[in-house]
Chains A and B, each alone.
Chain A
Amino acid sequence: MPELNYAGAVNAALRRCLEEIPETLLYGEDVAKPGGVHGVTRRLWKDFGGRVFDTPISESAILGSAVGAAMFGRRPIVEIMWADFFLVALDQMVNQAANVRYVSEGRLSAPLVVRTQQGNSPGACAQHSQNLEALFTHIPGLRAAMPSTPQDAFDIMVSAVYSDDPVVVIDNRTLYFGDKQDVVTDGDPAPIGGSHLRRTGPAATVVTWGAITHQVLTAADRLAEEGVRLTVLETPWLNPFDHDALHKSLADTGGRLVVVHEANTTGGFGGEVVVRALEAGVLSGVPLRIGAHDSRIPAAPELAAALLPGAERIYAGLKQFAAH
């Protein structure tokens, strides 16, 4: 079992898919010879020749050609370097990729995977800091996932490539070069979907996804030391979302629900999670959303930290919630 950091796990997953599935292609801006701006796709072009290549800075052509190639039996894996860059080419996701299967009554399909990364890191400007997953969860026809561990980064990429739907896999660059972990790289490809119970405790169910999961776990562990034990459910797949696991968990935590995401609070996917639980009749009391303050994100790290849901805010929010 190889020891891999998150970036290494993504690279290993891409390598496995390129080896196992001859229909795969991997392309995007700087992904081949330069190995990706974050080094995630390093060396793959050497081993897979014309199937891994660099492209012009043309997000619309990258996504649109992937839609076209996927219609013809290829499995393109394409990179949008920063999630913010999706915005110049959303047509190809929303009007094009998402419609292919449905409108053609399944005569055509668009099994492509878009890799991207998002979120704030110290000093990142307002156009390189956004958390945009809710744009994709709003669109029927697309799938979306946000892993936070090397194992999930590997498994989700493999599942996404094997899926016959268009899938957006959103990384967070602050995770790429974290600790190495043992990663199972030879398991059978799992169907898309699922979630992880990362902590169990009766005080409340905290749902979270993506990089902020680590901060939620840190806060939950601090609270556990203080005698407040929380359940933490990580839902790396946002579509399909594991509502069943959440609703089961709420039965064990008195229906008390907290959702934590780095994305803006208003219109964030957390609101949908809360309302689904409400509609299912599994909520009790007033739920809590912890997300970014609705704002543009300033570059100076101190300013950004004042808006984003960092470890302290999450800890304080969960503590107060559990006390009531």
Chain B
Amino acid sequence: MTTEQLVADLRAMWWIRAFEEKIQALHKAGDVRGSVHLCIGQEAGPVGACDALGDADALFATYRGHGWAIGRGAPPHALFAELLGRATGVNGGRGGSAYFSAPAYGFYGENSIVGGGASHAVGAALAGRQDGTGRLAMAVFGDGAMNQGAVYEAMNFAAVFALPVLFLCENNRYSELTPIRDMVRNERLTERATALGMPATRIDGNDPAVVRETVADLAEAAREGGGPAFVELTTQRLVGHYIGDVQQYRTKQELDADVLVEPIAVAIAKLAGSGLDTGAIEREVRDEVEVAARQALADPVADVSKVKEHLYA
């Protein structure tokens, strides 16, 4: 692991964190409206996993998907604009925080139905088999989706047809407001994937390097015809399920412990002996994020005259 890579990962994770924190502030100010699900604490997943994806590949995420869109390279200005309901948003304000897409960047959408996008990834891979691209598709969902039947239908479908689909479960320990451990009898979630006939592994989802390496290996195997695979990324949400969730269901002790293992803290600790000014990285990124947000705030609001367009072809 080179210092250069550590720095690049830290910077990439700060991009996501700073974006989310800015959204939090914009929400508080009343500029971003509606329910918003932040991925603060879960930045290592997108930073590591998106590196395994090429331009032709497809990513499908959840409503906690801002970080994944940034990981795919969607421009922060257009993402801010989307959440602010501006005409310049990636979907002109139609998607909002929880259901936008940016296909030009290989980001085929968040989904506000838990588990709703898993089968779309299967279809994307199926299309890739037909159109000759050999497209790899990645479906990202949380631990909560592990109790959705539709996810198993999608996983089995991909397995039966040996489609190149990676199913990534970000296990932040909370299915919305309820601990996953209270909602499963067997906490070894990977066994569910193994039972469907695909390789499955549980890794440290707070380490972008571990995520990168694991996902790259599984992606390669999937592209070579090995069929789908499942990865459980263990991680944590440092914030509530949605902005405004006061998390009465979590203890201070638990939250304090999470702060010590969250990916940015870990990355900074790793760089501690390098003599690098990691604080400067944070400041630079926050400045750039601020510029993108300010630009989006100055953009025109979504165009009401076009609100009926694009319902049908």
On A, residues with C-beta under 8 Å from B are 23, 25, 50-51, 53, 55-56, 58-74, 76, 89, 91-92, 95-96, 99, 101-109, 111, 140-141, 143, 163-165
Contact, CB under 8 Å: B312 / A141: yes
Contact, CB under 8 Å: A61 / B313: no
Please name all residues of chain B whose beta carbon is closer than 8 Å to the beta carbon of A164 when the two chains form the complex. 313
Complex Cα distance, B109 from A53, in Å, reads 27
From the candidates B100, B120, B149, B153, name the one contacting A56 in the complex (CB within 8 A): B153
Binary interface encoding of chain B residues 111-125 relative to chain A, with 1 for a CB under 8 A from any of its CBs, else 0: 111001011111111
Contact, CB under 8 Å: A74 / B130: yes
Contact, CB under 8 Å: A72 / B312: no
Please name all residues of chain B whose beta carbon is closer than 8 Å to the beta carbon of A56 when the two chains form the complex. 153, 156-157, 160
On B, residues with C-beta under 8 Å from A are 58, 60, 91-92, 94-95, 99-101, 103-104, 108-109, 111-113, 116, 118-131, 135, 137, 149-150, 153-154, 156-157, 160-161, 309-313
Question: When A61-B154, A107-B104 are in contact, do A72 and B128 touch as well, CB less than 8 Å?
Answer: yes
Least CB distance, A302 to chain B, in whole angstroms: 37
From the candidates B92, B100, B120, B153, name the one contacting A71 in the complex (CB within 8 A): B120
Complex Cα distance, B137 from A64, in Å, reads 14
Contact, CB under 8 Å: B119 / A65: yes
Other A-B pairs beyond A25-B126, A68-B123, A68-B124, 4, CB < 8 Å: A56-B160, A102-B311, A103-B101, A107-B101
Contact, CB under 8 Å: B310 / A60: no
Please name all residues of chain B whose beta carbon is closer than 8 Å to the beta carbon of A109 when the two chains form the complex. 313
Please name all residues of chain B whose beta carbon is closer than 8 Å to the beta carbon of A103 when the two chains form the complex. 91, 94-95, 99-101
Contact, CB under 8 Å: A65 / B154: yes
Question: When A68-B123, A101-B312, A102-B94 are in contact, do A51 and B130 touch as well, CB less than 8 Å?
Answer: yes
Beta-carbon nearest neighbor of A103 in chain B: B94
Contact, CB under 8 Å: A64 / B101: no
Contact, CB under 8 Å: A68 / B122: yes
From the candidates A65, A96, A107, A140, name the one contacting B126 in the complex (CB within 8 A): A65
Tally the A-B contacts, defined by beta carbons under 8 Å: 150
Contact, CB under 8 Å: A61 / B156: yes
Contact, CB under 8 Å: A67 / B119: yes
Beta-carbon nearest neighbor of A60 in chain B: B150
Least CB distance, A289 to chain B, in whole angstroms: 28
Complex Cα distance, B128 from A25, in Å, reads 13
Complex Cα distance, B132 from A50, in Å, reads 13
Question: When A68-B119, A92-B119, A102-B310 are in contact, do A73 and B103 touch as well, CB less than 8 Å?
Answer: no
Please name all residues of chain A whose beta carbon is closer than 8 Å to the beta carbon of B127 when the two chains form the complex. 68-69, 71-74
Beta-carbon nearest neighbor of A63 in chain B: B119
Contact, CB under 8 Å: B131 / A91: no
Contact, CB under 8 Å: A106 / B131: no
Contact, CB under 8 Å: A101 / B311: yes
Complex Cα distance, B108 from A108, in Å, reads 9
- Give 19 CB contacts A-B under 8 Å: A55-B160, A56-B153, A56-B156, A64-B116, A64-B123, A65-B120, A65-B157, A66-B123, A67-B119, A67-B120, A69-B127, A72-B131, A74-B127, A92-B119, A95-B116, A96-B116, A104-B94, A105-B309, A163-B313
Question: When A72-B131, A92-B119 are in contact, do A105 and B92 touch as well, CB less than 8 Å?
Answer: yes
Least CB distance, B100 to chain A, in whole angstroms: 8
Least CB distance, A239 to chain B, in whole angstroms: 9
Please name all residues of chain B whose beta carbon is closer than 8 Å to the beta carbon of A51 when the two chains form the complex. 130
Contact, CB under 8 Å: A58 / B122: no
Please name all residues of chain B whose beta carbon is closer than 8 Å to the beta carbon of A140 when the two chains form the complex. 311
Beta-carbon nearest neighbor of B58 in chain A: A72
From the candidates B101, B121, B135, name the one contacting A108 in the complex (CB within 8 A): B101
Least CB distance, B120 to chain A, in whole angstroms: 4
Contact, CB under 8 Å: A69 / B124: yes
Question: When A64-B119, A164-B313 are in contact, do A72 and B124 touch as well, CB less than 8 Å?
Answer: yes
Complex Cα distance, B156 from A163, in Å, reads 30
Least CB distance, B115 to chain A, in whole angstroms: 9
Complex Cα distance, B313 from A292, in Å, reads 34
Least CB distance, A188 to chain B, in whole angstroms: 18
Complex Cα distance, B126 from A105, in Å, reads 24
Beta-carbon nearest neighbor of A57 in chain B: B153
Contact, CB under 8 Å: B104 / A64: no
Complex Cα distance, B312 from A165, in Å, reads 6
Complex Cα distance, B310 from A165, in Å, reads 10
Contact, CB under 8 Å: A60 / B153: yes
Contact, CB under 8 Å: B116 / A69: no
Contact, CB under 8 Å: A76 / B312: no
Least CB distance, A194 to chain B, in whole angstroms: 16
From the candidates A53, A58, A64, A163, name the one contacting B120 in the complex (CB within 8 A): A64
Least CB distance, B113 to chain A, in whole angstroms: 5
